A and B are shown apart, each in its own frame.
Chain A
Amino acid sequence: MWQQIQEALSGSAHRVLSRLASLLPGLLALMLAVLICTLIGAALAWVVRRILIAIKFDERISSGAPTSVSDFAPRRSATLLVSRIVLWGFVVLGCIIGISTLDVSADSKDQMTTFFLPYVTHSVGAIVIFLIGNLAARFLARTVLIGAVNMRLQYARFLSLGIKWLVLVLTAAMILDHLEIGGSIIALAFGILFGGIVLTMSLAIGLGSRDMVSRSLEKTGPQDAFPTPPPQERPKVRHF
C-alpha cells in the first residue's frame, strides 16, 4: 500500500517536473521574443518619431483646427502618440509570438495558444476601450459643462457629471463584456445603472427648468384681451 502511494507520488512529481522542464525553453523563448520585439519596436518608434519631427507632423495636423488628435495625445503631441503606438504594437506582437512558441515547445495536446492568445488580444482590446472611454468621458463632460454655462444653465455641473458617468458606465460595461466576465449580469446591471442615470438627469433637468417651461406654455396660451404694452426694448450689444 505504502509502496503504491510512493510510486504514485513520485510518478506525479516526475510528470509535473518534466512538463515544467519542457516548458522552460518555451518560457525563455517568450521572454526573448518580447525583448527582441520591444527593442525592434523602440528602434522603429525612434525612427518614426524622427521622421515625423522632420516633416513637422504636429504642426501640420493641428494647424488652425480647434480640435485635433493632439488633444488626446500624451504631452499634446501627435508624433509621440504615433511613436508609442508603434512601440506598444511591437510589444503585443512579441507577446503573441512568445505564446505561440510556448505552444510549440509544449505538448501539442496542451493547446496553450488557443487559451492564452484570445485572452491576450481581448485584454489589449479592453485596455484600448478603457483609454478611449476615459478620454471620451472627459472630453464630453467638458464640452457639456462649457456649453451649459454659456447657455446660463444653473445645473451645468450636474449635467456634465451625468454625461461623464454615462460614458464611464458604458465603457465599464463594454470592457467586462469584451473580457466575457459576468455574462448576462453585466447587461442587466448596465441597463439598470444607465437607465437610473438618465432618469435622474431627466428629473433634475425637468424640475430645474419648470419655470422656463411654464413661461413657454404661457406664451403659446390664449392671448390677453388687454395686453400690457411691452417695455421699451433696450439696445443690444453687437459683438463683431
Chain B
Amino acid sequence: MSTTAAPQPSTNASQATAPALLLALPPLDSEQLRAAFGHLRPVLAGLPVLVAYPGGGESTDLPFSTVAVTPTAAIPPIHWIHTAAEYLNAYKMMSEYQAPRCLMLGSESWTLAPQNLRAMVTVAMENDTDLVLPRYTMSPYDALVNNIILAPVTRALFSIKVHTPQPLDLAFSMRMAERLAATAQRCTAANQNDALLWPVGEAATAGYNTQEVTMDTRSFPVPEVTDLTQLLTIVAGSLFSDVETRATYWQRARTQATVIGSEPLVFSGESHKPDVTTMIETFRIGYKNLSEIWSLVLPPNSLLGLKKLSVLEEQNFVMPDALWVRIVYDFLLAWRLRTINRAHLLGALTPLYLAWVAGYILGGRKEAHIEALAAAFDSDKPYLVSRWRWPDRFTP
C-alpha cells in the first residue's frame, strides 16, 4: 500500500465522534456528485453517517458529514461493478474514521428509490449483519448472467440462497471489510486492481451472517464491455476462479445457511419478449463449428442433448435445465483442469448460454423457471463434487 486514505479539508465534516456508518461513493464527476448529494440529503438527514467520496468537490450545506478522500489503491475506470481496489479503499476508510459499518454504493445510485436507500442504511446501522445485499426488482430479461450462472452456482456451492452475488450496492461490517480487504490486497499487490471480489463466498466461508433487502428497480450502469464473450470471461471467469480457490469449503455437504429477509425472486411487470432469432442462430452456428471444442469439455450425454437441441424448431426451442446445469459444471471443471485455454473456454460457452436464454424467453415461465433452475443446480452438486475429486473417472 502506497499511502493511506488521506482526508482532505471538508466543508461539512464533524469528526468529533465516530460515525455509525461510512457511506462510500464511487468516483463521480462534479455533476454526478451534486446529484448524489441531492439524493442523499433527505435520506441521511440527522443520521450519524459519514459520506466519503474520492477526489475533491463541493459539499456545502449538507445535513450529514462528508469527507473527500484520496483512494489508497488506484480505482480503475470501471463503473458497472465494484473492483478489488474499491473494497480495499473502503476498509482503509473504515479504519481511518473508526466506522463499524460501511455502505458501498455503485454508480448511478441516485436512481435508487429514497425509501430503498433508507431501508439499506437502517438495516446496515441497526442490525448486526455482516453482509447486507440488495434484491432488486428487475425485468425478467435483465441480469440473465446473474440469474442463470452467478446466483445459482453461488447458491448451490456455498449453500446460501442469495440473488445478487455480485451486488452494486452493499453494506458490510468491519470484520467482513477486513476479510474482503485481505483478498483485495492480494489482487492489488499483483497489480490486479480491477479484479472482482465475491463477498458472498467470503461471508459463507467465514460463517458470517447475511441479509437481503428488497429494492425497487434502479438504473444500472452499462458495462464498458459490450461484447458478451468478454463480459462472460470477466464475470463468470472471476466466479470460477473464486470457486476454485474455495474448493475445500464447498466440497463438504452443508445445510443451507439462513439469509435474513430472503424471499423468492419477483420480476417487474410484463414486458414484450425480446427477439431470440439471433440467439438461436448463434447456437446453431456454434453447434456446426464448435462441436470439436465442446467435445473436449462436455461428456457424450451433454453432446447428445445439444445435438437434439440443434434440430428443434424455433417454437419448440428450449434447453432442458438439467443440460444447462451439466454444461456449467463441466465448464467449471474444465476451467480448473485448464482443458483448453480459459478465454477460449468461456468463448465456447457463449453460444450455449444464448441457447438457454432463447429457450427461457420463449418458455415464458420466468420466476418459476429461474427458481427451478437454481433447484437443479442444487440437486446436481454431487456430480460436480465427484468430478472435481476424480476428474478422470468415466462420465457417460
Chain A residue numbers with a CB within 8 Å of B223 are: 240
**Which listed segment binds B: A1-9, A91-99, A138-146, A183-191?**
A138-146
A239-B285 CB under 8 A given contacts A63-B241, A70-B338, A146-B347: no
Q: Which residue of B lies closest to A145 (CB)?
A: B289
Chain A residue numbers with a CB within 8 Å of B97 are: none
Chain A residue numbers with a CB within 8 Å of B288 are: 157
Interface of B is mostly: helix
A238-B286 CB under 8 A given contacts A66-B237, A67-B341, A67-B343: no
Number of interface residues of A (CB under 8 A): 31
Q: B154 near A: Cβ within 8 Å? A: no
Name the interface size band of chain B: 35 or more
Cross-chain pair count, CB within 8 angstroms: 109
Q: Which residue of A lies closest to B335 (CB)?
A: A66
- Of B227, B285, B357, which one neighbours A154 at CB under 8 angstroms? B285
Chain A residue numbers with a CB within 8 Å of B337 are: 76
Q: Interface code B278-312, partner A: CB below 8 Å = 1, 0 otherwise?
A: 10011001101110010000000000000000000
A142 touches B340 (CB 8 A): yes
Measured CA separation A76–B296 after assembly (Å): 15
A240 touches B338 (CB 8 A): no
**Which listed segment binds B: A49-57, A170-178, A229-237?**
A229-237
A239 touches B241 (CB 8 A): no
Chain A residue numbers with a CB within 8 Å of B228 are: 150, 239
A235 touches B272 (CB 8 A): yes
Q: Interface code B206-235, partner A: CB below 8 Å = 1, 0 otherwise?
A: 000000000000001001000111010101
Measured CA separation A191–B195 after assembly (Å): 45
Nearest CB of A to B242, in Å? 10
Chain A residue numbers with a CB within 8 Å of B342 are: 65-67, 71
Q: B315 near A: Cβ within 8 Å? A: no
- Of B192, B231, B285, B343, which one neighbours A66 at CB under 8 angstroms? B343
Chain A residue numbers with a CB within 8 Å of B272 are: 234-235
Q: B167 near A: Cβ within 8 Å? A: no
Measured CA separation A63–B338 after assembly (Å): 12
A150 touches B143 (CB 8 A): no
Q: A147 near B: Cβ within 8 Å? A: yes
Nearest CB of A to B218, in Å? 13
B241 touches A64 (CB 8 A): yes
Measured CA separation A156–B347 after assembly (Å): 14
B235 touches A149 (CB 8 A): no
- Of B139, B144, B285, which one neighbours A152 at CB under 8 angstroms? B285
A-B residue pairs in contact (CB < 8 Å), sample of 10: A70-B338, A71-B342, A76-B337, A150-B286, A150-B347, A152-B282, A234-B273, A235-B141, A235-B273, A240-B144
Given A146-B348, A152-B285, A239-B144, 19 additional A-B pairs, CB 8 A: A65-B342, A66-B342, A66-B343, A67-B341, A67-B342, A145-B289, A145-B293, A149-B289, A150-B347, A156-B289, A157-B288, A234-B272, A234-B275, A235-B141, A235-B273, A236-B274, A237-B144, A237-B274, A237-B361
